[in-house]
Amino acid sequence: MARLVTRNYWWLGVTKDMGKYIERCDMCQRIKNRTEAPVGKLRLSKVLEKLWIHLTVDFITKLPLVAGKDAILVVYDRLSKMTHFVATTEGTLAEGYLEIIYRSYIGCWKVLC
């Protein structure tokens, strides 16, 4: 880039001024060449074969207190697209959530699988 400008123009500090201009130029920053390596080819996701093997767990919190419960535990199976909602409290620890999931759904999952 500096060669193109210095073919026709020259002044003291031309490359420094060009660097400053390019840093501030919005269009230059948008179309700038990327410096990171190419990402590579996309790969297909693994095909799931069994129910209740790949679960997604999420929490809905900060709900009004109803019957001593103020949160919802959402358990989602990616293969069957089945979702279970469990009323719980926000203060429950990880061991408590694991016990809730095991008690509530493991028997159901064994029948389905």
The pLDDT tens digits of the residues spanning 56-86 come to 888 899 999 999 999 998 888 888 888 888 8
Q: Which residue ranges make up each domain of the chain? A: 55-112
CB 48 within 8 A of CB 78: yes
CB 73 within 8 A of CB 96: no
% helix / strand / coil in the chain, to the nearest 5? 35, 20, 45
CB 10 within 8 A of CB 39: no
Q: Read off the DSSP letter of residue 34.
A: P
Q: Binning pLDDT at 50, 70 and 90, where does residue 113 land?
A: very low
